[in-house]
Amino acid sequence: MKSIAVYCGSSEGSNKNFMAKAFELGAAIAKHRINLVYGGAHVGLMGAVADGALSVGGTVTGVLPRFLAAKELQHMTLTETFLVDTMHQRKAMMSELAEGFITLPGGFGTMEELFEMLTWAQLSLHKKPIGLLNVDGYYDSLIRFIEDMNKNGLLKKEHVDLLIVSDNIEDLLLKMKEFVPLKDEKWVAAVNR
């Protein structure tokens, strides 16, 4: 992988370890000589992941809607920044620029980005690895919910397995490098439990 998009919160959250892990993830991505692609802001976990990559000489690409740049949220020391008109354009460009995705703790926007990439993988619109860094069990209930989708016959096991989960950064990066995409399906049919 030459580039990874990181989805995460624009706030710091109440757990101080969220910021620390975001910074650590950014640094680890850079140390692996992987370009970080992210939402372009200087605040919250987003700013921490970018600062982590920059702190060890990594390259960072930000993709930020103009309306957020106008609110002075733009990180000004990135390797490159793309300003776009809409949130939809932001997500599309981040997906195009990235060869893999990692989700850190976040809110609705982060969930939307994660589930859009999972849906696109499910439909074979991309064949890129999707990682979830489960910091301090933040995503435990979400993981159980996804497993319940399968138990209730609404999601195939192979689609559950599209989400690569770890609480360890190096383990997650290794699993993502070893990812084997699903074979193309003509149609997502009845769920096999």
Is residue 105 within 8 A of residue 89, CB to CB? The reply is no
Domains, in order of start, for the chain:
3-189 (3.40.50.450)
Tens-digit pLDDT profile for the chain (193 aa)? 999 999 999 999 999 999 999 999 999 999 999 999 999 999 999 999 999 999 999 999 999 999 999 888 999 999 999 999 999 999 999 999 999 999 999 999 999 999 999 999 999 999 999 999 999 999 999 999 999 999 999 999 999 999 999 999 999 999 999 999 988 665 555 544 4
Q: Which amino acid is at 152?
A: N
Amino acid 81: pLDDT: 98
Is residue 163 within 8 A of residue 146, CB to CB? The reply is yes
Amino acid 70: pLDDT: 87
- What SS3 class is residue 102? strand
Is residue 27 within 8 A of residue 59, CB to CB? The reply is no
- pTM here is 0.94
- What SS3 class is residue 78? coil
Buried-state track 174-190, b at ≥16 Cβ within 10 A, e below 16: eebeeeeeeeeeeeeee
